[in-house]
Amino acid sequence: MKIKTILGHLYVQVLLAVALGVLVGSLWPDLGAQLKPLGDAFVALVTFMIAPIVFCTIVSGITSMKDTTKVGPTLLRSLGLFYVLTALALALGLGSVLLLHPGSGMHVDPAHLDPRVAAKYASQVHDNTVVGFLMSIIPTSFVGAFADGEVLPVLFLALLCGFAFARLGTQGQVALDVVNSLGRMFFTVFGFLMRVAPIGAFGAMAFTVGKYGAHSIGNLGLLILSFYAACLAFVVIGLGTLARLTGVSLWRVLRYFRDEILVVLATSSSEPVLPRLMEKLERLGCDRGVVGLVVPTGYSFNLTGTAVYLTLASMFIAQATDTHLGWQQILLMLGMMLLTSKGAAGVTGSGFVALVATLSVMPTLPLAGVALIVGIDRFMSEARALTSTVCNIVCCLAVARWQKALDLSVLRAELQQGYVAPAVEPRVLVAPVPTH
């Protein structure tokens, strides 16, 4: 009976699936490589639920706020914190590559690299000017925002609709009830989909080990080590300090979200855990409105794992190709990365696309240099997604504390006890009936 209870935990199932995936990928690499569709299918299944869940959650959060004037300060504080942490992540990535020099001694001639590798990803690069980025927030149509699956246009629509419902009061109650009912349904469907998370984790890990294997890392292992060291330093130093200032233990927060952390680690994507992150953060005592605003925004503006990757990968290419960069060029590159690291989806491969976007506007660095790391990019995508996910969790707790929208007694009690899955379907974020 005890074994059955242990196996009932999602994180245990994911751990077993990951171990089985590593075993299959190691013993039967060809079979492991063919299991990639299992991981891709799981990510695709949960990703198409993200847009409607974000919309319903944000509308619900705004209409539940007694004072809607707090929305602006909450977003501004969130964005300010995101940029500070992104700058720290960029600095740690730079420090790691300058300290360990993973690319030194390779003496690669850029003319011998395959430019088609960069061209393949360059086609996915969006307009990274400030105007282009702001224009991408505006959807082509109301339905188009959901069809494209981009978080920022949906966030924009949700804010407009949330304020509209708050202004309408009882006149918009019928439509608001529909949104809340849809939110209930979406969260229930998402609960069904999360039950197949171990299958997705198994397929993703079997593919990674079977396709690439340890032998494909070669002398690029130091680059991977440098990246993981920088991410660990960011989590321990940056997020540990922020958690301490918020009044919580980072270790207990990580333990509370262990299910989601393992899913992100196995699938190399932060998208599948977005709804569960929001539900758990509210359960920790965060105000529903703060959760609905901070977490979805963080998924586009707070990709600190990608920020670490951008500086480290760019400097690695410079070292490997013997390209000298002065401090003025490095600072210019860091400034560009503050923009290119924003708006990328938290899915596998988005960091590599952001890297191509950065190098495409840095004429000093050879764009074809991305061919050096495309083979091992998958080994770094897990840490990118995981670092960004943990950062969004801690940021939401911090912003909620600053906004006086965090119940510390509930937070400490939940963290002390640890997450216990409810006996019934998870509670849905539903706004109460507003009184006007």
Residue 126 has pLDDT above 70, yes or no: no
pLDDT at 429: 45
pLDDT at 251: 92
- Mean pLDDT across the chain: 77
**Neighbouring-strand partners of residue 406:** 286
pLDDT tens figures, 262-303: 888 877 778 788 888 888 999 999 988 888 888 888 877 778
Residue at token pair 């197949």? 196
pLDDT tens figures, 23-47: 888 888 888 888 878 877 877 777 7
CB 341 within 8 A of CB 231: no
Task: Give the right CATH number for 2-417 from 2.60.40.180, 1.10.3860.10, 3.40.30.10, 3.30.365.10.
Answer: 1.10.3860.10
Residue 177 has pLDDT above 50, yes or no: yes
Q: Classify the phi-psi angles of 20: left when phi > 0, otherwise alpha if psi is within -120 to 50, otherwise beta.
A: alpha
Most confident by average pLDDT, 32-36, 74-78, 394-398:
394-398
Backbone dihedral angles phi then psi of residue 195, each to the nearest 5 degrees: -70, -20
Residue 400 has pLDDT above 80, yes or no: yes
pLDDT at 363: 65
pLDDT at 11: 64
| 114 vs 384, more confident | 384
SS3 content of the chain, % helix, strand, coil (to 5): 75, 0, 25
Residue 243 has pLDDT above 90, yes or no: yes
Least confident of 216-220, 345-349, 426-430, 432-436: 432-436
pLDDT at 18: 77
Q: What SS3 class is residue 286?
A: strand
Most confident by average pLDDT, 76-80, 319-323, 393-397, 418-422:
393-397
For the chain, the residue count is 436
| 365 vs 3, more confident | 365
| 427 vs 341, more confident | 341
**b/e code 396-415 from CB counts within 10 Å (16+ = b):** bbbbbbbbebbeeeebbebb
Instruction: Provide mean pLDDT across the span 383-399.
Output: 91
Least confident of 22-31, 55-64, 320-329: 55-64
Q: Give the count of beta carbons closer than 10 Å to the beta carbon of residue 331.
A: 11
pLDDT at 434: 41
Helices (H), 219-340: 221-233, 240-246, 250-256, 258-267, 274-283, 288-301, 304-320, 327-340
pLDDT tens figures, 219-236: 467 788 888 889 999 999
